[in-house]
Every structure is written in structure tokens, then in C-alpha cells.
Structure 1
């Protein structure tokens, strides 16, 4: 934690113990200071400090102020959610805070506050589902409840994010039953629905994220229209790359060029003659993989760098052996 932030926290805790204001006023002051630390954290220590301030606010807030207690818990949950850790303890605590907060927010808060809490609960549950600690269907239900308020007209940005998260949730369900193709179609539909309300100028981050993930959904869909889907996927990746570049968003850029490389690897050079081979596209894919590997390695993303390196090795072996390419599965889906 930076020196200025540390002094701010100490001053806040001292003020919270003073009798110059009511308990609820002191709790609200702590909540606002914690939020300031949380919005632009310099390190994980700032998030830890924010969580401690939220805890102190909960400690001094009178129980009869149910809505204020719920608001503190909901904000504390988002700090816990952002805290980097190898396990799931903080996410489980975030889930508990949100589940305790939502009833009071539903009863006394605004519809926007409730929708935001449900959206955050969905994100937490989706992350926990990936660790086997929650059901992905519960995350989907939370997103759908949030959409009752965050509609496409009044809240286009939130609506697009929710559609993205719904789609990634659909795609995270194992494809082990007859409804798998339906979930793939729902995911593509959700990405496309989100793209109807955001654009490259006004919502560049959300636009690029949706285009990247739409490309992945199209590329890996179980469909008889493989060539058509791959061409649409390339278009989507190119749209994302209108926003993402190596200088300003290196990791997002590396994700997208990796995904585009996966698609090019299996795309014929002449779409009018799919049997003519794809040595040109394989070469382009290789160049993109090399660049992505450099970016991931420089950023310390060793897992992603390893996936890309394995794809490069496979491409080199196939070129040497003149073997037909096989589908890579190293796509980078993103949830907001």
C-alpha cells in the first residue's frame, strides 16, 4: 500500500473511533474511503486495506440501518472478488456478503443497486463454478435477474456485459448432453445481442470483448457450416483488433491474435476451393502465435505463453511433415 493510502486508512480508522459523528455517518465515511482505494488500487495491499475498512464499517454500523449495512457488504464483496489469490476463499466470502446483502437491497434499495448486486453475484458464482464450488446455472439465473433492470435501452453498457457473461456461462457448461448445441446457439445469440447495443466509438472495451468472444463461439461451434463460421469468426477478431493493439492493451491484443491464429490455422487459402491447402494461412497463424507468445511471456502469463508455444510446435511439425492441420483448442474467452 502506498504511503499516502496508508496514511488515509489510518486517519479513517481514527475518525471511525471518534465520537464527532453518529455511528452510521462514520460507517458511511469508511465505506466511501474504502471505495476510493478499491477503484484505483496500486497493489493488492490497497484491496486488503479496503476490505479492512469495509469490515470496520460493518462493525460500527447499527443493525437497524439495514440498507447501509447491505451496501457496505455489497461493496466489500466486489473488493473480495478483485483480490488476487490462488484459491477460492475470497470468492466464497464475496458470495456470502452478496447473498446477505441482496434481500435488504431488494426491499429498500434502488432497482439499479439490486441489478448490480445480482450481476456481481453472477460473476462470483461463475468463477466458483469453474472451481467446482458453485452451480453455473445459479450464475445464469443471477444474470437473468439483473437483466430485468439492465435493459438494452436504458443501460446499454451493462446489458452488453451481461450478455457477454451469459454467453460465456453457457459455453462453460460441459458439452455432454443433447442440449449442448442449443447452448452454443444461445451463446452466439447472446454475443450478437450485446453487439446490437454497443459500438466501436462509445463502448470500445465492451465492443472488443464481445467481438473476441463471438469469434471464439463461432470458431468452436459444433456446426455443419464450419467454413462459414470461421470466416465470420475472422471478421469478429478483426473488429476486436480495431480497438486492441500491442501498445495500449497488450494482453487483450495477444488473446485476440491467438484466437485469430487458431482460426487461420484451419482456414483454406482459397475459400472457393477448400481442398487447395492453407500454407499461406498457416504462415500467417504462425506469425501471430510468435507475437502472442512474446507478449504473454513478457507479461508473466506463463500458462498462456505455454499454450501458444505448444501450438507453434505443432504447426512446425505439421509443416515439416506436410500433414493436414488439426484444430487447436487454446482459445481465450473473456468474462467481464
Structure 2
């Protein structure tokens, strides 16, 4: 079938949809499944734009919503369709004005206020319009103009990716599509360096992506980072190479697929390679970031001796603190202090009592910056860590230590709520419930276990990777079992009283 014949069939199908009775759309689409493809969607968008230009706004919006739903059903879009009052022409006008502004000056201080005025257009509909415009435009202009468009598309995607207002999920989808469009022009063969930078940026977007399968996103990020390293080599582009190595290490440390132990080994190798360029003298902050991240990898490391790994983690954290000081980089300093506290809490070597004291000191230091008002989530995390340390503390009065542990767990639960952070709430409530249980405080234990169960009901455990899902379910089983024991004991006590 020729393109002209296909177009005629698409137009005929679109006319059927526009003229049909309400509710018949699904049947019509099912009867024409051989026509359901990206070309049909692009034709729908073009027709919707024509309706918008003719002032027939309702038909334009209706047809655009059908195109968007169909794109989602065909797997061309992630997420739920966005209901909008904007017409395709509104999106096109916005896109053209935005690209023109970026072409003239891509400064975020000039672009972001314009985006803020048009947050209602940063959605899946913009992706459809962007795809349609790019396909038609790039196929009809000369190579030099295509290159200009690709350069603007690169800046467009980078700006959208880093934009913090509106839907972050939508922004990342738009950025990914924009990078993909730029790659149609800036190919490996013709624009090798630009291609490599695009691959690196695309990898960053996939590593942050909210939609889609998390495991798939990380695999795509790793592939893109590895592609970029074909051009951005240590010899030719040492600083870019080191940055990509560090980002690749981060992706491996979070990787869901593959063997966890092997992934951590890959992360460690990449971080250590990055330190060939990121030295203390040349790039002190990058050097400190990499040392901090290596500390995290060694804390989690599966291969090697556990005691040796934790000693290495402590060394890396202490190295990072040479640059990450309270005065110079307070937030980073607090983060590394908290990490150092975790390493001392887990430490195998040395005196256990002393290690716990050092952990408490490090956590307490972190709270100089991690306050309830300024960094509530970080504050709650450190409060939870302090509670764990006091729960196992050897020095000091046992009763006072447990009292402190309860206080810190309760503090953490002020932020770690069942509505906002159900998995964190589950973990903290479970630990607090165990503490109450061991102290024979049956009523508060029951109430806290119940909070943990309610948190589990709010958590989307199906979205977790298999290892975390198994751990969460294991924690939940413990909670259910312990709560039933508490209820039995409470009932027994009540019966005895009566």
C-alpha cells in the first residue's frame, strides 16, 4: 500500500470517528486495527491542528484526546492521558515560540519564566506535537538547517530535563523524546562528539526517569553511558570521561538486573577510575563526592571480607570530610556524617561500644544541619538512625538509652507518615514496635504495629525491585505476627483484671 493510499485510509477512519455516535469509537478502532500505528496518530494531530486553526476548538480537543489515548494504548506514551483545554495549535504555537527563544538565547533565566507561564502545556500532548513537528520538519529541510534544529532540540531537552516546576515525570518524558529527535541528526558518523554528549545526557534522563519500569530505565541509562564512552575517552576528554564514569558507577550501584554483588564491583571500579581525573588537588569537590560514593559502595559490598569493606568505607568517608566541611559545604558535610555514622554502626572491627558511640557522635553532628524545618526528610532519616544506635548502645544507662531510642523513633514518625512515605514509616514503626514489645509495653506496641500495617497497605510494593519487595514482605510478616501476640497478651491481661 502506498503512502498516499495509507493517508486516505487514515483520513477516512478519522472522519468515521468524528461522525460516529458517542461510545462507538472503541468499536470503530477495533474494526480498523491494521491502521492503528504512529502514522495514524500523526495524521490525527495534523487534522486536529487544522480544526484548531479553523476555530473548531471542541473537535480539535476531542481528536487530540483520542490520539493521546491511542498513543498510550500502543505504548508510545507512558502515564495516564492528560485532560486539557489546549488545542493542538496552542501546543504548536507554544513549541515554536519556545524553540525560537532557545535559539536566540538558551539561558535558563530567560527560558524558565516562559515555561512557568505555560506549565499546562508541559504534558504528553506536547510530546505528540513535538514528534509530529520534528518528523515533518526534519524531512523537508536541508542538512544545515537540520543541524541547527538538532542543536536547538539539544538545548531544549537539557533545559526541560533540569526544570523543577510542573510535573517532573512529564518534563523527563519530554526531554527524553527531545534527545531522541536530536540523535536522528547528530549521528555517530557525522557529529561524533555531539552524539556522545547526547548519549550521556540521555543516560542521565533515563536514570532519573519516573515513568516506565525502573529496571528497564537503569539498563537504558547504562547502555547510553557506555555508548558515550566510545567517544569521550580518558585520553581525549578526561573530565567528561571521569564524569560519565562516576554516573555509570551510580547506575550500577542502583541496578536491579544482574547479580547485585557484580553490580557493586562494577560501581567500585568505575568510581576508582574516575579518581584518576578527580584528584584532591585538581577537583576537590568532585574528589570528595566520589570518595563519599565509594564509601557507600563498600558499606553495601557483598564480595570481599565484610570487616575489611567497612574499614575501607570509613576511610573513604573520612577522606570526603577533608573537603566536605561544615562551613564550606554544610549539607554535603551532614550527609557524609550520617553515612559515617552508618559505617560505625555496622563496623565489625574495634570495640563495639566505642563504635556505637562514634556512630551517635556522627549522627548528632549531622543534625546540626539536618533540622526539622530545613531538611525534614533527612532529619527524620538521621533520627531513625540515632534511635537504632541508642537501641543497641552498650555504654550509659540501659533504661535511659531505650527512652532515647523511643524518642528518636517517635521523632522520625513525625515526618515518616503512612500517607507520605509509607515504606519508611513501615520500617520505623516496625522497629519502634519491637522496642515496645521487648519492654512489655503491649498497648503502645499494638498501636505502633498497627501503624506499620497501615503503612504497608499504602505502599506500592509491586513497584519495588524483587530484593526490596521480599525484604518488605518479610518485615510485614514479622509485624503481623508480633501484633497478634500483643493482642493475645493484652486480652489475657484484661481477662485477668476482670
Shorter-chain TM-score bucket reads 0.7 to 0.9
Alpha-carbon distance in structure 2 between the residues aligned to 1:201 and 1:51:
38
Q: Residue 238 of structure 1 aligns with which residue?
A: 364
Q: Are 2:224 and 1:123 equivalent residues in the alignment?
A: no
Q: Residue 410 of structure 2 aligns with which residue?
A: 290
Q: Are 2:177 and 1:60 equivalent residues in the alignment?
A: no
Report the CA distance between 1:155 and its aligned residue.
2.0
Q: Are 2:102 and 1:102 equivalent residues in the alignment?
A: no
Q: Residue 198 of structure 1 aligns with which residue?
A: 324
Equivalent residue in structure 1 for 2:341, among 209, 215, 221: 215
Report the CA distance between 1:269 and its aligned residue.
5.6
Q: Deviations over 1:225-273 (max 9, x none)?
A: 1111111111111121111122221111111111111111122463xxx
Q: How many residues align?
A: 314
Alpha-carbon distance in structure 1 between the residues aligned to 2:132 and 2:376:
39
Q: Rate the CA distance shift 1:107–1:228 in 2: closer, same or farther, 3 A.
A: closer
Alpha-carbon distance in structure 2 between the residues aligned to 1:303 and 1:132:
24
Is the 1:188–1:214 contact (alpha carbons within 8 Å) kept by the matching residues of 2? yes
Q: Rate the CA distance shift 1:14–1:153 in 2: closer, same or farther, 3 A.
A: farther
User: What SS is found at the alignment partner of 1:267?
Assistant: coil
Q: Residue 292 of structure 2 aligns with which residue?
A: 164
Alpha-carbon distance in structure 2 between the residues aligned to 1:240 and 1:97:
36
Equivalent residue in structure 2 for 1:35, among 125, 150, 158: 158
Q: Are 2:129 and 1:3 equivalent residues in the alignment?
A: no
Alpha-carbon distance in structure 2 between the residues aligned to 1:205 and 1:12:
41
Q: Residue 274 of structure 1 aligns with which residue?
A: none
User: What SS is found at the alignment partner of 2:414?
Assistant: helix
- Matched ranges for 1:293-332 at <5 A: 293-297=413-417, 300-320=420-440
> Which range moves more in the overlay, 298-307 or 87-96?
298-307
Q: Rate the CA distance shift 1:194–1:12 in 2: closer, same or farther, 3 A.
A: farther
Equivalent residue in structure 2 for 1:87, among 206, 214, 222: 214
Equivalent residue in structure 2 for 1:150, among 278, 285, 288: 278
Q: Are 2:395 and 1:279 equivalent residues in the alignment?
A: no
Q: Residue 70 of structure 2 aligns with which residue?
A: none
Alpha-carbon distance in structure 2 between the residues aligned to 1:254 and 1:184:
24
Q: Are 2:148 and 1:25 equivalent residues in the alignment?
A: yes
User: What SS is found at the alignment partner of 1:105?
Assistant: coil
> Which range moves more in the overlay, 216-225 or 117-126?
216-225
Alpha-carbon distance in structure 2 between the residues aligned to 1:107 and 1:127:
24
Report the CA distance between 1:109 and its aligned residue.
5.3
Q: Rate the CA distance shift 1:198–1:221 in 2: closer, same or farther, 3 A.
A: same
The CA RMSD measured in Å over matched residues stands at 2.6
TM-score, normalised via structure 1 length: 0.85
Report the CA distance between 1:22 and its aligned residue.
3.6
Alpha-carbon distance in structure 2 between the residues aligned to 1:187 and 1:129:
22
Report the CA distance between 1:125 and its aligned residue.
0.8
Q: Rate the CA distance shift 1:84–1:64 in 2: closer, same or farther, 3 A.
A: same
Equivalent residue in structure 1 for 2:173, among 48, 54, 59: 48
Report the CA distance between 1:107 and its aligned residue.
6.8
Q: Residue 333 of structure 1 aligns with which residue?
A: none
The list of structure 1 runs, each at least 4 consecutive aligned residues, that deviate by more than 6 angstroms after superposition, is none
